[in-house]
Amino acid sequence: MDPFLNLTDVNYSYHSPEGETPALSNISFSVSEGEFIAIVGPSGCGKSTLLNLISGLLLPEFGTIFLKGHSVRDAGTEIGYMLQKDHLFEWRSVYRNVILGLEIQKKCTPEHLARADTLLDTYGLSGFRDSRPSRLSGGMRQRAALIRTLVLEPELLLLDEPFSALDYQTRLSVCDDIGGIIKKEQKTAILVTHDLAEAISIADRILVLSRRPGRIRSIIPIHLEVEDRTPLKSRNAPNFKDYFNRIWKELNYYE
């Protein structure tokens, strides 16, 4: 059977009048359905470029990217993308922000609209349904942004540093919250973060990239000694720091 997501020998360079910037080199890995992958690596090593390639926004110069056996170029709404900024529009209510993707894709069927309301209800935002986004806390805004992505029923979620605009305390609880929702909705997810502890707390496997041009330095499966694992509980696992030290060394070792 085909893996859920498969990248083989993916290479990418940016071209400008000043010359060529190789961003990624020989990237190959697979992701299973329902898996949560975190990608860590030095700033500028090509993490966002990698997500843009997986989303189909950029095309690899060389190599292939398949989602369920089809090129991601044809994936459309099967892939949801969440960024650091929540991009909620202040002139729309929370509900009308959440259904924006449905409007754009002309999918405002009674079923889809009902699902938007169900998600707002399940994840504690129905009381803010008709409010402006400025009434929401930073964490609630990210939850609304996630719901806006989930109503489109993506098969794969891509998250590019979605918590980095939040202060540390909020960040811990929002990561726990968003991680819980993604798990409950049984989504496959790839999270880019520069926060190593965050990656270990949430991921099933961590991909460590080298400096630009990003190559895969290692892929580390995370098995934490903790019951009913959540991102917050993960941080108390006795072997959490062992992973931290190992990946820290990987990140700080350059040829």
Q: Residue with structure tokens 């894709």? A: 105
DSSP H or E stretch at residue 234: helix 231-234
DSSP H or E stretch at residue 28: strand 19-31
Upstream peptide bond of 213 is cis (omega within 30 degrees of 0): yes
- 252: contact with ligand ADP by CB under 6 A: no
Closest separation in Å from C-beta 171 to ligand ADP: 18
- 52: contact with Mg ion by CB under 5 A: no
Cα–Cα distance measured from residue 37 to residue 40, given in angstroms and rounded to the nearest whole number = 10
- 55: contact with Mg ion by CB under 5 A: no
- 43: contact with ligand ADP by CB under 6 A: yes
Judged by CB under 6 A, the residue of 49, 142, 149, 210 near ligand ADP is 49
Closest separation in Å from C-beta 179 to ligand ADP: 21
Judged by CB under 5 A, the residue of 25, 48, 97, 193 near Mg ion is 48
Output 5 or 39, the one with its CB closest to Mg ion.
39
Stretch that binds Mg ion, among 11-19, 47-55, 68-76, 80-88 (CB under 5 A): 47-55
Residue type present at position 49: T
Cα–Cα distance measured from residue 31 to residue 54, given in angstroms and rounded to the nearest whole number = 12
Task: Output the DSSP codes for 115-180.
Answer: HHHHHHHHTT-GGGTTS-GGGS-HHHHHHHHHHHHHTT--SEEEEESTTTTS-HHHHHHHHHHHHH
Output 60 or 139, the one with its CB closest to ligand ADP.
60
Output 47 or 148, the one with its CB closest to ligand ADP.
47
Give the three-class secondary structure for 49: helix
Judged by CB under 6 A, the residue of 5, 7, 23, 53 near ligand ADP is 23
- 25: contact with ligand ADP by CB under 6 A: no
Residue 44 interacts with, from ligand ADP, Mg ion, none (CB under 5-8 Å by kind): ligand ADP
CB 82 within 8 A of CB 88: no
- 14: contact with ligand ADP by CB under 6 A: yes
- Report the greatest alpha carbon distance in the chain: 57
- 143: contact with ligand ADP by CB under 6 A: no
Stretch that binds ligand ADP, among 40-48, 101-109, 198-206, 219-227 (CB under 6 A): 40-48
Give the residues lining the site for ligand ADP (CB under 6 A).
14, 16, 21, 23, 41, 43-49, 212
